[in-house]
Amino acid sequence: MVIYINGQFLTKEKAVLSPFDHGFLYGMGLFETFRVYEGHPFLLDDHLERLNQGLEVLNINYRFEREETNNILQELLKVNHLNNAYLRLNVSAGIGDIGLQVEPYINPNILFFPKPLPQAGDLTEKKAVLLELRRNSPEGSERLKSHHFMNNILAKKEIGHAVDTEGIFLNEKGCIAEGIVSNIFWVKGNCLYTPSVQTGILNGITRQFVCELAKKHNLSVEEGLYSLEHSLEADEMFVTNSIQEIVPISTLEGHEFPGKRGQIVQLLHREYRHYCKSLWSRHGLRSE
């Protein structure tokens, strides 16, 4: 596999970073993962917008633009002979002295990692289990997609290797929050519910897109602080992320849901397929 690192395309064996990188020493780094469909990086603008906002918070002086980023991605796809792929864009703060730095980071390390994926397929449902581990609070005012991933790793360790299961966090106040690698939604009547970012969740790019998609189809969308019991009264439940897309949930805490037979999840999945090879941002839905 060839990766991109600081302007070079190198085999993964030749890619190196300094041990004095503050992404390694202090976790000062961010990443985005997104999916490429037939060469198109779906919702790339939204991923870059979130990344740029996070870089400001971490005081890393760098900004990503679509054209330059997409040029790198297209070359990376070409050299790896990929058309459908998983892409991870990683920004690490860069080299610094031992000790906490308050000055801006001006030479971050920038990496792109590709991984082959098959063509997107049909809905695949999962079971959900409630985690004993609680979702930790964000380090700042809002959760960033950062190198601080221990809470997620411990949660994954709790549920094990089962690929057909997603663990669901409650936050420290007992509100339903999100999955280990996903955001959670449930449907009751004509309303789509999802936990607010005030619960401490990551504001997922697919989460934001699904909210816009639901509104486009005249579903009301409510974001709030909800108990587990509220979600268990749902007609349908599903989770989302940028790689797995929309994943119907069949069971949670002994409650059964329609899973991939759910009407709303099928509607949203069809629409997702319609846009995934062309849309750069969720805002493109509003211009139609």
68-86 mean pLDDT: 98
pLDDT tens digits, one per residue of 223-238: 999 999 999 999 999 9
Global pTM value: 0.96
115-122 mean pLDDT: 93
Q: Which two tokens stand for residue 240?
A: 């989302």
248-255: which pairs have CB atoms within 8 A and are 24 or more residues apart?
248/123, 248/125, 248/126, 249/125, 249/126, 249/127, 249/128, 249/166, 249/184, 250/125, 250/126, 250/127, 251/127, 251/128, 252/127, 252/128, 252/129, 252/130, 252/168, 253/129, 253/130, 253/228
Write down the CATH number for the domain with range 126-285: 3.20.10.10
What integer pLDDT is reported at residue 267 of this predicted model?
Answer: 97
What integer pLDDT is reported at residue 128 of this predicted model?
Answer: 98
Is the per-residue pLDDT at 134 higher than 80? yes
Is the per-residue pLDDT at 174 higher than 70? yes
Q: How does residue 171 score in pLDDT terms, banded at 50, 70 and 90?
A: very high
Is the per-residue pLDDT at 135 higher than 90? yes
Buried b (16+ CB within 10 A) or exposed e, 29-52: bbbbbbbbbeebbbbbbbbbbbbb
pLDDT tens digits, one per residue of 175-213: 999 999 999 999 999 999 999 999 999 999 999 999 999
Give residue 251's Cα distance to chain centre.
23
Strand-by-strand arrangement of the 109-116 sheet: 8-11, 2-5, 109-116, 85-92, 29-37, 40-41
CATH for the 2-116 domain, from 3.30.470.10, 3.40.50.970, 2.60.40.3500, 3.40.50.300:
3.30.470.10
Q: Where are the alpha helices (DSSP H) in the chain?
A: 22-25, 44-57, 66-79, 150-159, 205-216, 228-232, 263-275
pLDDT tens digits, one per residue of 67-76: 999 999 999 9
Q: Which two tokens stand for residue 205?
A: 């790019």
Intervals of CATH 3.30.470.10 along the chain: 2-116
What integer pLDDT is reported at residue 113 of this predicted model?
Answer: 96
| Amino acid letter, 127 | K
Is the per-residue pLDDT at 84 higher than 90? yes
Is the per-residue pLDDT at 286 higher than 80? no
Q: Which two tokens stand for residue 152?
A: 């997620």
Is the per-residue pLDDT at 287 higher than 80? no
Q: How far is CA 288 from CA 6, 115, 124, in A?
A: 38, 32, 29
Intervals of CATH 3.20.10.10 along the chain: 126-285
136-151 mean pLDDT: 94
Is the per-residue pLDDT at 279 higher than 70? yes
Q: How many other CB atoms sit within 10 Å of the CB of residue 237?
A: 27
Lowest mean pLDDT among 34-38, 139-143, 151-155: 139-143
Task: Look at residue 116 and give its three-state secondary structure.
Answer: strand
